[in-house]
Amino acid sequence: MKNFIVFFIIILNTLTNFTLKGQEQIIDQVIAIVGANIILESDIENQYYQFRMQGNIKGSSSSIKCQIIESLLFQKLLINQAELDSVEITETQVESEMDRRLRYFISQFGSKEKLEEFYQKSIVELKEEFRELIRNQMMVDNAQQKITLNANITPSEVKSFFRKMPVDSLPLINSEVEISQIVLQPPISFAEKNAVKEKLIKFKNRIKNGEGFSTLAILYSEDPGSAKKGGELGLYGRGELFPEFEAVAFKLNPDEISEIVETEAGFHIIQLIERKGEYVNVRHILLKPKVSPLDLAKAKNTLDSIALLIENDSLSFDEAVIKFSDDPSKNNGGLIVNPLTGTTMFEADQLDPKVFFVIDKLQVGDISVPVPMKTKDDKDAYRILFLKKRTLPHRANLSEDYNRIQEWALEEKKSKIIEEWIKNKASKTYIKIVDKYKDCEFQHNWIN
């Protein structure tokens, strides 16, 4: 069941309904029906082609296609349940999820233009083609979450799960560290902000006097992604840009240049290139006000003093975090969260290299010297790092890896709940599979 669920999740996260470049046209036919929902031959072939292109093919083509069919049968069974439960997915929800997915794929391709070139379709066309797939996936997610909503795991179940794991198959856990931080982010002075604004006003006047917006963006904009393209961002829909930026961009006329706009990123002037419905393409010049070297030096000296207080036991690190840190992590004892796992533990290759080189020299309980950093909004700051915990490479065990083992046990319990749900629902739902695929060795009995 575990492999089946993993396979299903992979399928949900691919652009399976997009026609791949160079793929032959498929003569379509219905190969399965689940309630009022159908599975087409093209659904299977598109997904098989996607896996082949990604190098994920292990086993014969027929066995892979049988796995794809089974995952689609499960998907359609969940959609059928969502329809019976009258699950409603709003257009706003669909649009937001589409934007999130497209941002991910754009980041993978490097730009919107490269994504459009690969699929030979505009972003608008891709979104229209993607819309129904996203809606179905959201219905699937909703139905699946309801199935396992009340799943929980007790400590005794965690211990029982661990005891059943063969000793020679216990996974090897790499060395991990847990790190806390105290961050001081000096404020940007009014003088610096005013100086940046004055530069932008001068740029705007130069453009009015005949200089090209694109040329000035290439020379001066501090947005590395768009500067080399003359400040052009490409088409963006509502909700994809900073709210302050978007509010101005959608009100501009073609070639009109905005007043100065302040966002988290800094200060901008914006020029509208074109508007297509609810999408705009603009150029912008971004300037980022900087923290003064003097204020940064003061922050570094303050952190030195804080570290000394902690080392002299005048206050604990936790107390110092609450009292002094400017980072949101202060609400969690200063602990840095691993974005890959959602936990506070990091393997060496999951750390920012700059953090690793500082932490690697510390013993557990040591505090680093103040080190420079960039905040999430790209502002200069200083921080001290506290090595709270370091584990050695080891086989998984309850004392060091309880949370990890608890997650494994809960996932196994959810898998069993889903298996039982499939068994029950499939027996009560109209399901028909064409003869061509009836010989598949499915994990579940889909044919009543």
Q: What string of pLDDT tens digits covers the 448 residues of the chain?
A: 444 443 443 344 444 444 444 444 445 789 899 998 999 988 888 888 877 776 655 656 788 888 889 999 999 999 999 988 888 888 888 888 888 888 778 777 877 778 888 888 888 888 888 888 888 889 988 898 999 999 999 999 999 999 999 988 899 999 999 999 999 999 999 999 999 999 999 999 999 999 999 999 999 999 988 898 899 988 787 777 889 999 999 999 999 999 999 998 899 999 999 988 778 899 999 999 999 999 999 999 999 999 999 999 999 999 999 999 999 999 999 999 998 888 899 999 999 999 999 999 999 999 999 999 998 878 899 999 999 999 999 999 999 899 889 999 999 999 999 999 999 999 899 999 998 888 888 888 887 6
Fold classification of 175-187+292-392 (topology level): Chitinase A; domain 3 (3.10.50)
Cα–Cα distance between 190 and 201 in angstroms, integer?
16
**Contact between residue 121 and residue 129 where contact means Cβ atoms under 8 Å apart:** yes
**Contact between residue 227 and residue 268 where contact means Cβ atoms under 8 Å apart:** no
Q: Whose CA is closest to 433, among 447, 420, 444, 416?
A: 447
pLDDT of residue 23: 45
Could you tell me the end-to-end alpha-carbon distance of the chain, in angstroms, rounded to an integer?
20
DSSP state of 288: -
DSSP structure string for 210-221 = T--HHHHHHHH-
Element (H, E) at 114: helix 112-119
Fold classification of 190-287 (topology level): Chitinase A; domain 3 (3.10.50)
Strands (E), 197-310: 232-237, 261-263, 266-276, 279-287
Cα–Cα distance between 238 and 91 in angstroms, integer?
13
Q: Whose CA is closest to 148, among 418, 379, 426, 441?
A: 418
Domains 175-187+292-392 and 190-287 fall in the same CATH topology: yes
CB neighbours of residue 230 within 10 Å: 18
- Domain regions of the chain by residue span: 2-152+407-437, 175-187+292-392, 190-287
**Contact between residue 112 and residue 106 where contact means Cβ atoms under 8 Å apart:** yes
pLDDT of residue 448: 65
pLDDT of residue 56: 57
Query: What's the residue count for the chain?
Result: 448
From residue 347, alpha-carbon distances to 265, 354, 361 in Å are 30, 14, 15
Cα–Cα distance between 246 and 284 in angstroms, integer?
12
- The CATH superfamily of 2-152+407-437 is Porin chaperone SurA, peptide-binding domain (1.10.4030.10)
CB neighbours of residue 14 within 10 Å: 14
